[in-house]
Chain A
Amino acid sequence: VRYAYYPGCSLHAGAKEYDISWRAICEVLGIELVEMENWSCCGTVHATNPMRFTVNCT
């Protein structure tokens, strides 16, 4: 089975242990993870609002 994989910034940095565990689990389960090319940050609290971006706080 192949799945597209979006790790997000944290799984490449501060929480990389989750990335390591997840990849290990998927290998055992026979799941192939294909990391999306050129993915961008999800924006977490600071940029994702249901209505508007908090972003433009200038």
Chain B
Amino acid sequence: MMGSERRRLAAMGESETLVDLDLEFREEIRSRVEGLDPGYCFQCGVCSGSCPTMARMTYGPRKIMHMIHLGMAERVLQSQDIWYCVSCFSCAARCPQGIEIGDVMSCLRNMAVARGMAVDKEATFSRIFVKVLQEHGRMYEPEVLLRYYASVRDVDAMVKIAPLGVRMFLKSKIGLLPQRISNAGELGEIAARIDRGEAE
């Protein structure tokens, strides 16, 4: 590692050693994301400045892009930030280099799942969200939240959010029962086919 890279890491408050860096990481992302090579990022920070969930993130998109460049695969893939991305694509829309940062984020989510590194509870939330979707064909928030809080065993959080559910119910923003479509099973089949690589 060059001295300047080490200084940059130190500036980020990190203490990665050479052993932890995976230089294949950025190559894999480059091959999986269409558009400009993320290596063209010059760290202007407009992405992090535009990100609506920046306040919840540990690093934010600018640092994530930098960490990709440095090969900090483990830290990026285990980060909650990739799960806090809401795919609004403000980052990509405003990126002066035109890098598809939103696509990089979803690429990272997929890589985290594939490598068994999707350890954040946000990953659990996504998994349950999709399960509910595949069962009903449409979203039913109360079920997602109940199953999510049950699976992360966080009764306190569930109790805390309950009044919001009641208020939404009173405004008929939550139904008593989920809306179902007649052929929800087909969604699961489509997902399975994509997973088998039949329809990328």
Binding site for B on A (CB under 8 A): 9-10, 12-16, 38-41, 43-58
Query: In the bound complex, do residue B182 and residue A45 qualify as a contact, i.e. CB atoms below 8 Å apart?
Result: no
Task: Find out whether the CB atom of A51 lies under 8 angstroms from the CB atom of B133.
Answer: no
CB <8 Å contact, B32 and A55: no
Our pick among A10, A14, A41, A54 for the contact of B126 (Cβ within 8 Å) is A54
CB distance from B100 to the nearest CB of A (A): 8
Encode contact with A along B128-158: 1 for CB under 8 Å, 0 otherwise. Answer: 0110011001110100000000000000000
> Could you tell me the distance in whole angstroms from the C-beta of B164 to the nearest C-beta in chain A?
10
Contact (A13, B139) CB under 8 Å given A47-B130, A51-B200: yes
- Interface of chain B residues 135 through 193 with chain A (CB within 8 A): 137-139, 141, 168, 172-175, 179, 181-184, 187, 191-192
- Least Cβ–Cβ distance between A14 and chain B, in angstroms: 5
- A57 — which chain B residues lie within 8 A by C-beta? 113, 118, 123, 126-127, 130
Contact of B87 (CB < 8 Å), options: A13, A15, A48, A58: A48
Q: List 20 A-B contacts (CB under 8 A).
A: A9-B179, A12-B179, A13-B174, A13-B175, A14-B168, A15-B173, A16-B172, A40-B133, A40-B137, A41-B138, A43-B133, A45-B85, A46-B133, A49-B109, A51-B107, A53-B191, A54-B126, A54-B130, A56-B113, A57-B123
Q: Whole-angstrom distance from the CB of B62 to the nearest CB of chain A?
A: 20
* Shortest beta-carbon distance from A54 to chain B in Å: 5
> Would you call the interface of chain A mostly helix, strand, loop, or mixed?
loop
Nearest CB on B from A15, distance (A): 8
Q: How large is the interface on B (under 10, 10 to 19, 20 to 34, 35 or more residues)?
A: 35 or more
Q: A41-B133, A50-B103, A52-B200 given; name 17 further pairs at CB < 8 Å.
A: A9-B138, A13-B141, A16-B173, A38-B183, A40-B137, A40-B138, A41-B139, A46-B130, A47-B133, A49-B107, A51-B103, A51-B200, A52-B195, A53-B194, A55-B134, A55-B191, A56-B191
With CB as the reference atom, state the residue of chain A lying closest to B110. A52
Residues of A with C-beta under 8 A to B85: 45
A58 to B181, CA, bound (A): 24
B106 at the interface (CB under 8 A from A): yes
Does B34 have its Cβ within 8 Å of any Cβ on chain A? Answer: yes
